[in-house]
Amino acid sequence: MFSDYKLKEACGICGVFNHKEAANFAYLILYALQHRGQESAGIVSTDKKNFYEYKSTGLVAEVFDKETIKKLKGNVAIGHNRYSTTGDDSFINIQPFTATLSSGNIAIAHNGNLTNTYKLRKSLTTKGAIFNSQSDTEIILHLIAHSKGNIITRLINSLKQIKGAYSLVILTKHSIIGVRDPYGFRPLTIGKMKDTIILSSETCSFELIGAKLLRDVKPGEVVIINDKGITSLQPFKKVEPKQCIFEYVYFARPDSILWEKDVYIVRKRLGELLFQESPVEADVVVPVPDSSVASAIGFAQASGIPFEFGLIRNHYIGRTFIEPKQSIRHFGVKLKFNAVRKFLKGKRVVVVDDSIVRGTTSRKIVKMLKAAGAKEVHLRIASPPIISPCFYGIDTPTRKELIAFSHSVEEIKKYSTADSLSYLSLDGLKKAAEKKENFCYACFTGKYLTEFE
């Protein structure tokens, strides 16, 4: 409950082709992708005859143990961990999803959100489809089941019917298939170690297992990995990519190479540009750990103001917390953060955060710093105001709950009790992203790229 001030990534997905410990490697990749979804995890493997599956709620290291991994036989496996975006958090919604089609078994792991689900679900139900979950992903499965031809033909036929954001990793008896939607909203990368091919949402997982980044799956690309190697298809009309800029701002791990850049470097650049746009005189620059550390370092280096780790984060936080009846001021945020007290006394503090969602956390952090003795607190946000929800795979509150939808920067400043507040401009963000036309900025602009049906 105390983590709801952050936007949540929907999912991490992966595939391992041709390794005798395929499931164990999928498990390790999911562990490295844990920041992309902490509610549940699942792996499906195949020995070219049968499919083996294990899924449960919990963190990756809690879900699997030696016994469960052992039962996931075969040289090929795909995996998924999730943060529920659509569908509640019940067991039935845990991915990957599997089905026995007339053409054989299939399993599918999906990161993203479809935007024409209402229409598709209605049409499929009329045809006799029985849905077992509230998940978008099951729609894709039913579309494939109701298509004709071999699995690739069926898949492409199905993809042409869906709209919205989807990076997919699909398992058949003899292949894994990677897909990014034509806009490429969500990431998907290809790695390699010896004769093994890896698909993974992020490259930070490659280091752990000793793989090398080969390349990104391209927007609109279908990549088929089987015994013949890697085959690439481009079944969609080409469109300008709209990759999620928020992966750079907050979601992706700073040690990932995303769309050919170190996420860490992009974030530092956001901090530098933030200083250039909104300089301030101060004694220390303090990050809200861990997500804004790189931006705060960028800000500090650009400004020459010393960087200090003035807010300490408690990483032991569990899922629920027993609140005392007597209200403690800023209880929730205190479970996560604490200020270094004597040190901050009398100082002018720049506190850098990556974004503001509801505003309540910013207010509590500013108050905490002041209670610790800070003379001034200047709030600097390394991205523009979030004014609109995401429909492409990120769990955002409704528009009303986004403080920047209904309040001016001046109003947010007052609410936060900061002595000054500046956001990075949209231009600044685009500058940091370099190939600015390749990105989706909808959460900052409210301009969406696909229809909703």
Of the candidate spans 272-280, 331-339, 403-411, 436-444, the one that interacts with its own copies by CB under 8 A turns out to be 331-339
SS (H, E, C) 1-43: CCCCCCCEECEEEEEEECCCCHHHHHHHHHHHCHHHCCCEEEE
Nearest 10 degrees: Cα torsion 240, 243, 249, 254: -130
367 lines the binding site for its own copies (CB under 8 A) = no
Closest separation in Å from C-beta 399 to its own copies = 27
Of the candidate spans 128-136, 158-166, 354-362, 427-435, the one that interacts with its own copies by CB under 8 A turns out to be 128-136
- 17 contacts 30 by C-beta, under 8 angstroms: no
State the binding string over 131-170 for its own copies (x if CB under 8 A, else -).
Answer: xx--------xx--xxx-----------------------
Applying CB under 8 A, among 91, 231, 234, 281 the residue interacting with its own copies is 91
Applying CB under 8 A, among 238, 316, 398, 451 the residue interacting with its own copies is 316
Applying CB under 8 A, among 71, 89, 321, 445 the residue interacting with its own copies is 321
- Residue 14 burial (CB count, 10 A): 31
Q: What is the SS3 assignment for 50?
A: coil
Q: How far apart, in whole angstroms, are the C-alpha atoms of residue 34 and residue 42?
A: 12
434 lines the binding site for its own copies (CB under 8 A) = no
Closest separation in Å from C-beta 319 to its own copies = 8
Of the candidate spans 111-119, 174-182, 317-325, 435-443, the one that interacts with its own copies by CB under 8 A turns out to be 317-325
207 lines the binding site for its own copies (CB under 8 A) = yes
Applying CB under 8 A, among 322, 410, 437, 451 the residue interacting with its own copies is 322
Structure tokens at 104: 């054989």
209 lines the binding site for its own copies (CB under 8 A) = yes
1 lines the binding site for its own copies (CB under 8 A) = no
Applying CB under 8 A, among 48, 149, 210, 240 the residue interacting with its own copies is 210
Applying CB under 8 A, among 2, 4, 18, 34 the residue interacting with its own copies is 34
Percent helix, strand and coil across the chain, each to the nearest 5: 30, 25, 40
One-character DSSP codes across 328-378: -TTHHHHHHEEE-HHHHTT-EEEEEES--SSSHHHHHHHHHHHHTT-SEEE
Q: Which of 307, 270, 312 is nearest to 285 (CA)?
A: 307
Residue 8: phi and psi, rounded to 5, are -120, 135
435 lines the binding site for its own copies (CB under 8 A) = no
Active site residues: 11
Of the candidate spans 59-67, 178-186, 227-235, 384-392, the one that interacts with its own copies by CB under 8 A turns out to be 59-67
Closer by beta carbon to its own copies, 61 or else 239: 61
| Binding positions for its own copies, 265-304, rule CB under 8 A | 265, 290, 293-294, 297, 301
The CA-atom distances, in angstroms, between 311 and each of 336, 350, 421 are 10, 12, 18
| Binding positions for its own copies, 334-353, rule CB under 8 A | 334-335, 338-343
- 370 contacts 339 by C-beta, under 8 angstroms: no
Closest separation in Å from C-beta 412 to its own copies = 25
Q: How far apart, in whole angstroms, are the C-alpha atoms of residue 192 and residue 203?
A: 11
Structure tokens at 175: 């292949």
First to last CA, the chain: 32
| Binding positions for its own copies, 244-263, rule CB under 8 A | 253-255, 257, 261-262
Element (H, E) at 385: none
Applying CB under 8 A, among 100, 231, 408, 445 the residue interacting with its own copies is 100
Closer by beta carbon to its own copies, 46 or else 388: 46
Q: How far apart, in whole angstroms, are the C-alpha atoms of residue 450 and residue 392?
A: 10
| Binding positions for its own copies, 377-416, rule CB under 8 A | none
Judged by CB under 8 A, the number of residues near its own copies is 87
Closest separation in Å from C-beta 114 to its own copies = 17
Closer by beta carbon to its own copies, 127 or else 400: 127
